[in-house]
Amino acid sequence: MEDMIFYDRLQFAFTITFHYIFPQLTMGLSLMIVYFKWKFLRTKIEKYNNAAKFFMKIFAINFTMGVVTGIPMEFQFGTNWAKFSELTGGIIGQTLAMEGMFSFFLESSFLALFIFGEKLMGQKLHFLTGFLVFFGSWASGWFILATNAWMQHPVGYEILENGKYVLENFSALFTNPWLFPAFLHNQLASVVTSAFVMASIGAFYILRDKHSEYGRLFLKTGVVFGLISSVLVAFPTGDWNAKNVAKYQPGTFAAMEGVFETEEAGAEIVLIGQPNMVDKKLDNKIAVPNILSFLTYQEWDKQIPGMDQFEDHELPDNIPALYYSYHIMVGLGTIFIGVMALALFFLWRKKLYNIKPLLWTIMFLVPFPYIANLTGWYTAELGRQPYLVYGLLRTSDGVSPTVSSGNTLFTLLGFVALYMLLGLLFLVLVGKTINQGPTPQKH
């Protein structure tokens, strides 16, 4: 049974990790495409329109890959997690269906119109189609986050005699106190990824002295969007999410912050340390006294319950993985703010385009927002374990009893091979698009 649960979790973790590489770019990029199109309508400068169409090509490649990798992931609710689907389908099925019926069809329909319909519709309607692509992609995130928010903090439900969960209050799904902070944090984090991708393409063009006009535009836009979104990811949205975890999942909060023992005079914030699960402490830690209490409750001496205040079943089942995921996310986010602030300073001084070390830094940082986004999701999901629905339905009670661990492992290996081929195809297509550049081809 333990092997079956392990492979079910491993397969879902792999497929959702690979899948989320793509929507985290499309959600943020859609906003920046709307910005370019809006700039074109205001200024009538053609480079803004070309920039919008160029990044919509990259958007379309990511969107296609997201669809291809997302479908098998959703099938796993029926194959690997049939009991979970049976018990909670009356609730999560509604938000997932709304995501598919409303957001996905809106996004995909107007994506085609944006790519192929500019001459037919005119510029104002073309802008509208771009805006609706943006709206659809963010609405998709809203419905997915509504599903996840209910799993993190279940509200508005009723348990029937047969053990199934049904909605008692539909509006509670969308007024869940967990939802809005998580949605803003997730969407702004996707803007961080998109900003770094755009800035790195700009830096690449400048360093190669190719498409230099667009390189400067992409770099400038990416840096401005990148700094604003990086700051907003940290505060207020990151702070808001952390306070929700402290309020609704206090054992998880203690684990992700590395608070093993309750301190009477306020909790320190750990900058560096390694969880020692044998001695129940952090090894080689560097910490600042009382800061965690102040950041969480705005009181220097406020007590924060440590892991010693909770039973084992009230704590996450993989504390080191949760701790490291959280601190990688926070550490990378801090680096992003620093790099983008430095880049904006030199942009203001009109020197950024000539500082090659900084351009190389921006270009090679592009994988790290993806890592930060994924470790952020790992923090949320590892923190919820050992529950599928926090406090209600344990992970061990949600698996499909008739799917063996061997079957799951076999299909996992198949997914790995297939997704590696898809990943290679994705890199080739995006690389070719970037190499061609945003300048319209002359026929």
The reported pLDDT for the residue numbered 441 is 60
pLDDT of residue 443: 43
Secondary structure (DSSP) of 346-389 = HHHTT-GGG-HHHHHHHHHTTHHHHHHHHHHHHHHHHHHTTEEE
- What per-residue confidence (pLDDT) applies to 73? 86
The pLDDT score that the predictor gives to residue 71 is 87
Q: Which helix (H) or strand (E) holds 272?
A: strand 269-276
Report the C-alpha dihedral over residues 192, 197, 202, 208, rounded to 10 degrees: 150
Q: Which two tokens stand for residue 357?
A: 């070390």
DSSP states of 156-215 = SEEE-TTS-EEES-GGGGTS-TTHHHHHHHHHHHHHHHHHHHHHHHHHHHHHHTSSHHHH
Q: How high is the pLDDT of residue 442?
A: 54
Q: Residue ranges of the chain with pLDDT lower than 50? A: 443
pLDDT tens digits for 358-400?
999 999 999 999 999 999 999 999 999 999 999 999 999 999 9
Cα–Cα distance, 129 to 122 (Å, whole number): 11
Name the DSSP letter for residue 275.
E
